[in-house]
Amino acid sequence: MNMEKYKIGILGATGTVGQRFVTLLENHPWFEVKVLAASKSSAGKTFKEAVQNRWILNSKIPKEYENIIVMDVEEDAKKIASEVDFVFCALGGEKEKIKKIEEMYARLECPVISNNSANRMTPDVPMIIPEINPEHVGVIEHQSRRLGTKKGFIAVKSNCSIQCYVPALHPLFDLGIKNILVCTYQAISGAGKTFNTWPEMKDNIIPYISGEEEKSEKEPLKIWGKLENGEIIPNSDINITSQCIRVPVSEGHTAAVFAKFERKVSCEEFIERMRKFKGHEMSRGLPSSTENFITYFNESDRPQIKSERNLENGMGISVGRLREDSQYDIKFVCMSHNTVRGAAGGAVLLAEMLCREGYINK
Ligand code: NAP
């Protein structure tokens, strides 16, 4: 790997996920942040001025970014695209608009690695968890043909809610997963909020997260889908039903999962397979790769948010409470960090893989 770093931009740098990107990339060995961009209301301010009243992380605003002037995602698009090798998209807001913004950057020959859901179900846009389905990068050449680009494309990571239970079930994929029932217990940072900005969440749960159940049921099927005729065809053998609940937790999404397979699996075999699963080789040896992708806990009161969310720098998947079930084959509980593994960290890992595989160039 050449020592010169990739120049990157962050679209939506001032938001919850944007702030995570900024801190994760502070000392990144391959990537150097050159552009921070957001909406018109932040554009023209220094990054510090734009975020100082809504900085949500425990760590301080990185000094080297404090005085960068925030650019306008739309008006400055040409300038941004000419100054960076690729952008991370952490934009919030209306989906149709974000879809257009992402396509605009791709057409400006600037690859987009996105957190946003706007393009997740676009058939020629790969939605990748690098440990699980990196081979979906193959669809990028078809997307580039549609967009008429040489090096511009969009690649996305999946929704934060699925990033603990899809990895936990993946080591059993060859047993024929049939039915999955999942209840997710999701942190308030997933809505871009803190307890200060969302005081109703103190001592409360809200049994509704707009659009989350649809994403939790559909996105795994694309992750487990196949590349055929220039598109990712979602898996049609697996049925998923879900309930997504907002809980009074700052960071970290938990899921209670029940699963049925074509071939019955013992708890011992499941634990053994999870412990051995290191992720696809394309996901290994990158700056953000994990040593242990999945950690299984034998203690009956784990995984817990506070002790497990920062495992593997927030990129690990924690699983526990595996038992046989009377209606499904097995049940278990799993968790992962929603703004690291589930958002910015997952996107950084994906970008690292795309750089090493030659899809993004300096
Ligand atoms: P957020 O805190 O509301 O931040 C939104 C960002 O987008 C801000 O930088 C905002 O700029 C910018 N923005 C909004 N509308 C814009 C527009 N019309 N033009 C240009 N910039 C605009 O949201 P978030 O929680 O970080 O989430 C960002 C995206 O990631 C969402 O699509 C979300 O669904 C997804 N996501 C979030 C999580 C999570 O755990 N939070 C996990 C996975 C995926 P200003 O500050 O200037 O308004």
Q: What is the pLDDT of residue 212?
A: 97
- The one-letter code for the residue type at 212 is E
Structure tokens belonging to residue 283: 């996901």
Does 56 score more than 70 pLDDT?
Answer: yes
Based on the residue annotation, tell me whether 253 is a catalytic residue of this protein: yes
Q: What is the pLDDT of residue 240?
A: 98
Q: Is the peptide bond before 303 cis (omega within 30 degrees of 0)?
A: yes
| φ, ψ of residue 221 in degrees (nearest 5) | -70, -30
Does 1 score more than 80 pLDDT?
Answer: no
Mean pLDDT over 217-221 rounds to 98
162 close to 217: Cβ distance less than 8 angstroms:
no
Q: Mean pLDDT across the chain, nearest whole number?
A: 96
pTM: 0.96
Residues of the chain with CATH 3.30.360.10: 160-337
pLDDT band at 207 (very low <50, low <70, confident <90, very high): very high
Nearest-atom number in ligand 1 for the CA of 91 is 7
Tell me the HSE value of 116 on the side-chain side, using a 13 A CA sphere.
27
pLDDT in tens, 281-306: 999 999 999 999 999 999 999 999 99
Q: What is the pLDDT of residue 354?
A: 98
Q: How far is the CA of 305 from the centre of ligand 1 (A)?
A: 24
pLDDT in tens, 130-188: 999 999 999 999 999 999 999 999 999 999 999 999 999 999 999 999 999 999 999 99
- Domain covering 160-337 assigned CATH 3.30.360.10 in the classification: yes
Pairwise CA distance, residues 23 & 116, whole Å: 19
Domain spanning 6-159+344-356: which CATH class is it, in words?
A: alpha beta
At which residue do the structure tokens 């009377």 appear?
Answer: 326
Q: Which residues contact 315 (CB under 8 A, 6 or more apart)?
A: 288, 289, 290, 337, 340, 341, 345, 346, 349
Nearest-atom number in ligand 1 for the CA of 118 is 32
DSSP string, 25-86: TTT-SSEEEEEEEE-TTTTTSBHHHHHTTS--SSSPPPHHHHTPBPEETTTTHHHHHHH-SE
Pairwise CA distance, residues 124 & 135, whole Å: 13
Q: What is the pLDDT of residue 142?
A: 98
DSSP string, 101-155: HHHHHHHTT--EEE-SSTTTT-TTS-B--TTT-GGGGGGHHHHHHHHT-SS--EE
Pairwise CA distance, residues 362 & 358, whole Å: 10
* Residues having CB within 6 Å of any atom of ligand 1: 12-18, 38-39, 41-42, 73, 90-93, 97, 115-117, 160, 189-190, 192, 338-339, 342-343
Residues of the chain with CATH 3.40.50.720: 6-159+344-356
Beta bridge partners of 156: 114, 127
Ligand 1 atom 4 nearest Cα: 15
Mean pLDDT over 195-202 rounds to 96
